[in-house]
Amino acid sequence: MSLTADQIDNAARLAGTPLYAYSAPALRDRVQQLRKAIPEAGFVYSLKANPNLSIVQCLTGQGIGTEVCSLFELETSLAAGVPAQATIFVGPAKSPREIRRAIAVGIKAIIAESLEELGLIDTIAAEMGVVQPVALRINPSFHTRGAKLSMSGKPTQFGIGDEDIDGALALIAEARQIRLVGLHVYMGTRILDHQVVAENTRNVLALADDIIARAGHGLEFVDIGGGWGVPYAADETALDFPALAEAVNTMAAAWKTRHRGTQIIIELGRYLVAEAGVFVTAVRYVKSSKGVRFAVCDGGANLHGAAGQAAGFRRNFPIRALHPRPGDTAPWNVSGPLCTPMDVIGQKVDLPPVQPGDLLCIDRSGAYGLTASPAQFLSFASPAEVLVDGPRITQIRAPGTLAAHLAQFTPAELTPLADAPKTLQTAEV
């Protein structure tokens, strides 16, 4: 359920612009749609898409788990009330602190991305006196066609390559305090072809069959990744969800007959939240420069980096006037307040006549919005985020303030380390 013009107006009046607004019913409905259509699989929400605590609570309140990539994301998931046993921890450079915390809270599995990481998890688990469940992230040799960014079949910092699988299994078999409970394969992002998702799923499950046979025991789960896309540009089409659901259910049901007790997990971020959110920015000035119309707004690429990057490739997010004025549409460049020519969030966008004070909306902005943007660039205040649930509008992130901005620069004394070189103990900055 998309937000109405009245809801967006009220949010902008209460929280100011620029802002991000999210539809709580749309978030809940998307989860329920997935769980109803694909009952053969379990789902986890990837916090990297949008880590706002209230967004996480809204989604996971519908009965799904989480995938986290950092200590802060783990703590956000826990604060949202998600049981640690419903959370997996991924990432190629986990710190000892992150590993210790994940073990301490009893996480479902730490997803190991290298042989060295497996060894570190084993060492820390031994120090803590527990046996830690782990899963292997595999970087397979097969390639993902149809993904905007392929994550497999090439050299990458992510995962364990085919050539190291036997070594990883041997290490786990010899380890003292880790046990293998799952596999994880992430193929790519922004996939808009259901046949590609089906092909990926088929390949991942075949790989899992092989690894289970080589390991000599069953697993608790196989994470087949996600990467399901939503259309942004005008020439992109949405996933055929009914066809996708049918294909995945068929393969998942066949899998269960071969491996009873092993759950298939699908991790989704963008697909869960993108279409539930809108970025709202107010026009401050309009001008014409050498025959090109510009709508200069109070929020730009610093707060919506994805729209800026898309516009840089002459592709636009869906941009509209909240209250279209009468008159013929014309191409407009939509820019923000930054002193850089890169601050363009829409190029040649067909809009009705635009005047200062008009609100422009960038739809499908619920994923990879504020936290994926260079929000501190040129020191503009961060925007508010609000969650809209019928007539109720809740501020779920306060806008930035001058006091908070200046406070982060307050000088602080550093406690010298006992064994630090003297030249580092009293360094002037």
User: Which domains does the chain possess?
Assistant: 38-268 (3.20.20.10), 275-406 (2.40.37.10)
Residue spans of alpha helices (H) in 113-164 = 115-128
Token pair for 415? 């406690």
Percentages (nearest 5) of helix, strand, coil residues in the chain: 35, 25, 40
Q: Which of 251, 165, 150, 266 is nearest to 212 (CA)?
A: 165
Q: How far apart are CA 285 and CA 333, in angstroms?
A: 12
**How far, in Å, CA of 381 to CA of 402, rounded?**
8
Q: 211: Cβ–Cβ under 8 A, 6 or more apart, which residues? A: 136, 138, 165, 169, 183
Give residue 244's pLDDT.
96
For residue 202, the tally of other CB atoms under 10 A from its CB is: 14
pLDDT, tens only, 249-297: 999 999 999 999 999 999 999 999 999 999 999 999 999 999 999 999 9
As a whole number, the mean pLDDT across the chain is 93
Burial of 232 (0-12, 13-18, 19+ CB in 10 A): buried
pLDDT in tens, 141-195: 876 665 555 555 666 788 898 889 999 999 999 999 999 999 999 888 899 999 9
Summarize the confidence of residues 69-87 as an average pLDDT: 98
| Residues contacting residue 371 through CB under 8 Å, at least 6 positions apart | 50, 51
Q: pTM (2 decimals)?
A: 0.93
Question: How far is residue 66's CA from residue 73's CA, in Å, rounded to a whole number?
Answer: 9
Report the alpha-carbon distance of residue 312 to residue 343 in Å, rounded: 9
Instruction: Identify which of 160, 263, 261 has the alpha carbon closest to the alpha carbon of residue 205.
Output: 263
